[in-house]
Amino acid sequence: MITDSQLNLQVYVTTSAEETQEVARNIARSIDRGCIIALTGDLGAGKTTFSKGLISELCVYEPQHIQSPTFIYLNTYPSNRGLVCHFDLYRLGDACAFEDLGFCDYLDGDHICLIEWPEIIESLLPKQTIRVNLSYISESQRRIEIERMI
Ligand code: ADP
Ligand code: MG
């Protein structure tokens, strides 16, 4: 059983995409090789926006040069904390498809993984996975909940 004292929950309300990216950049500064981040939330909630902030901090890319891997499932970016793997599993069928594509290798603790639509591979995610949930409040406002083991 996980008790409250083992979980750290941070909640933010942002009022622009840039502010969401700034929250993500702060998270990027606190993570290391092997970290897995599961991003949940509806379409348009800001998962890709958050990912752009995090990747731009880790990999020194401009956010506008970071694209969602919507149709190819995975983009990778080199960083000095290992390869950063950005997954979008929205169109992927199930965990078997994830395994068949050889993606499990990326969860081996050597890479940083950001996973949009992680629900289908829930059973493959380690318990230390950082959980980020984004929800829509208004056109420019989002609520971001970040839950991590301490
Ligand atoms: P998802 O990947 O969850 O489907 P995206 O990040 O692709 O969502 O899209 C979010 C959209 O909402 C972007 O067009 C972004 O500019 C806009 N947006 C407006 N306000 C915010 C905010 N506070 N945080 C994140 N995105 C926002
Ligand atoms: Mg997306």
Q: What pLDDT shows up at residue 42?
A: 98
Q: What pLDDT shows up at residue 82?
A: 94
Measured from the CA of 16, which atom of ligand 1 is nearest? Answer: 23
Helices marked H in 11-147:
17-29, 47-59, 95-100
Report which residue type is found at 45.
Answer: A
Alpha-carbon span 121 to 96, nearest angstrom: 9
Q: How does DSSP classify residue 86?
A: E
Nearest alpha-carbon partner for 129 in 143, 146, 110: 146
pLDDT digit string (tens) for 77-105?
Answer: 999 999 999 999 999 999 999 999 999 99
Ligand 2 centroid to residue 11 C-alpha, Å: 20
Best residue among 49, 71, 89, 134 to mutate for probing ligand 1's pocket (most ligand atoms within 8 Å of CB) is: 49
Q: Which two tokens stand for residue 103?
A: 């993606």
- Bridge partners, 88 (sequence order): 116
**In the sheet that 36-40 helps form, which strands lie side by side, from edge to edge?**
7-14, 141-149, 130-138, 36-40, 112-116, 84-88, 74-77
In short, whether 41's Cβ falls inside 6 Å of ligand 1 is yes
Ligand 2 centroid to residue 70 C-alpha, Å: 7
Q: What pLDDT shows up at residue 5?
A: 63
Q: What pLDDT shows up at residue 6?
A: 85
Q: What pLDDT shows up at residue 61?
A: 85
Q: What pLDDT shows up at residue 10?
A: 96
In the chain, which stretches have pLDDT less than 50? Answer: 1-2
Which ligand sits closest to the CA of 53?
A: 1
